[in-house]
């Protein structure tokens, strides 16, 4: 489980812990360095042992995809055999087509909270998997209405 920046480490760690509990085996973790200064993103450090493994990058959103692509390329360079990105919101701004086309990423899983209208034929793209968010949101609203807990919605 890889966070593409230090700000997402807690999110990646929570998902890693849940996946580890669900599978009953250890799941490693990783981090890619990211610095933003004057609108320029940089950072080359990658920490984590992904050699011979599937790397799962977890992030909150895709804008142009530059951060995900840098992280995917770093994971590949470190020996990952497959690299998947799991993202909550796919904005897919101008330039994100490069992310989808790049062989460093095998698959991008994103919710449908933002329609991918900026992408050319997203339904035909086998690399892009869109998951519906409506059932989860509907269940959360129903539980709030019934004054029930939301806690178990946050785990596998």
Looking up tokens 């991918």 gives 116
Annotated catalytic residue, options 29, 34, 126, 127: 34
Whether 8 and 60 have beta carbons less than 8 Å apart is answered as: yes
Give residue 156's pLDDT. 52
> Is 34 marked active-site?
yes
Residues 128-155, mean pLDDT to the nearest whole number: 92
Q: Does 38 have pLDDT greater than 80?
A: no
Give residue 142's pLDDT. 97
**In the chain, how many domains are there?**
1
Residue 107: domain span:
2-154
For residue 6, what is the domain's CATH number?
A: 3.40.50.2020
Give residue 123's pLDDT. 74
Name the pLDDT band for 35 (thresholds 50, 70, 90). low
The number of beta carbons lying within 10 Å of the beta carbon of residue 27 is 16
Name the pLDDT band for 45 (thresholds 50, 70, 90). confident
Tell me the backbone φ, ψ of residue 149, rounded to 5 degrees: -70, 145
């Amino acid at each position: 489980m890889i966070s593409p920046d230090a700000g997402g480490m807690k999110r990646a760690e929570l998902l890693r812990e849940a996946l580890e509990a669900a599978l009953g085996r250890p799941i490693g973790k990783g981090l890619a360095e990211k610095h933003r200064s004057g609108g320029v993103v940089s950072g080359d450090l990658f920490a984590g042992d992904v050699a011979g493994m599937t790397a799962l990058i977890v992030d909150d959103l895709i804008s142009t995809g530059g951060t995900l692509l840098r992280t995917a390329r770093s994971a590949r360079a470190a020996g990952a055999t497959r690299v998947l990105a799991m993202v909550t919101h796919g904005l897919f701004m101008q330039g994100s087509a490069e992310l989808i086309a790049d062989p460093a990423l095998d698959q991008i899983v994103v919710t449908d909270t933002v329609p991918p209208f900026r992408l050319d034929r997203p339904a035909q793209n086998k690399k892009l998997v869109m998951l519906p968010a409506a059932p989860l949101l509907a269940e959360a609203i129903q539980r709030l209405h019934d004054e029930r807990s939301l806690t178990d919605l946050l785990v596998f």
